[in-house]
Amino acid sequence: MERSTDPSGFDNAIFRFFRELAAVSQSADRLVERALPDELKQPHFNVLDFLARNDGRPTMGELALAMNVTRGAISNTVRRLEERGYVTVSADRRSKRVGLTASGRAAHRDGIEALVPPLLELARTISAPDMIEILPLLERIRGYLDAEAGRPG
């Protein structure tokens, strides 16, 4: 049995809550990784998804911040995507900007299509209305955590 320093058990509830968030995140990552086409790994898909959902050409620094990874990690991921022709990287005087190519849009679309079956299975297990109901709470949690980390939401 877990011990609590808080007689109300509130601190145990908070830790349990965050353990569940972490476990859900890890399980979701595994589900995505298994479903994606062989040439796409989770970090690659995350970058393609970010670029597909956001207009413009973010800098490498902005992309690293949005992905919550180091600049070195994002440089490696972007390099692999560029080698496959999924992104372009252009340099201006002070930074490199990343853009999605037509091939990148197609790879993103393929990734989304590969995720449909496992997500539909999840929706059969946990109803879509239940998922939609918790979205505002998840968005508030993410907003708080992003603000704490100094990242834009």
What is the distance between the alpha carbons of residues 42 and 58, in angstroms, rounded to a whole number? Answer: 19
Quick check: is 115 in a domain?
A: yes
Q: Tell which residue, 129, 70, 120, has the closest CA to residue 78.
A: 70
Quick check: is 66 in a domain?
A: yes
Q: Is the pLDDT of residue 118 over 90?
A: yes
Quick check: is 97 in a domain?
A: yes
CA separation, residue 64 to residues 46, 76, 92, 98, 111 (Å): 11, 11, 18, 11, 21
Q: Is the pLDDT of residue 19 over 70?
A: yes
What does DSSP assign to residue 59?
B
Q: Give the tens place of pLDDT for each residue, 36-92.
A: 988 889 999 999 999 999 988 999 999 998 898 999 999 999 999 999 999 999 998
Give the end-to-end CA distance of the chain in Å, rounded to a whole number: 37
Confidence of residue 147 (pLDDT cuts 50, 70, 90): confident
Quick check: is 29 in a domain?
A: no
Quick check: is 33 in a domain?
A: no
Residue entry with tokens 């970010």: 50
Q: Give the tens place of pLDDT for each residue, 82-111.
A: 999 999 999 988 889 999 999 999 999 999
Quick check: is 112 in a domain?
A: yes
**Whether 136 contacts 69, CB under 8 Å:** no
Domain with 90, as residue range(s), is 38-149
Q: How many CB atoms lie within 10 A of CB 78?
A: 23
Q: Which CATH number covers residue 59?
A: 1.10.10.10
Quick check: is 42 in a domain?
A: yes
Quick check: is 20 in a domain?
A: no
Count up the domains in the chain and report the number.
Answer: 1
More confident residue, 148 or 117: 117
pLDDT at 100: 96
**Whether 42 contacts 77, CB under 8 Å:** no
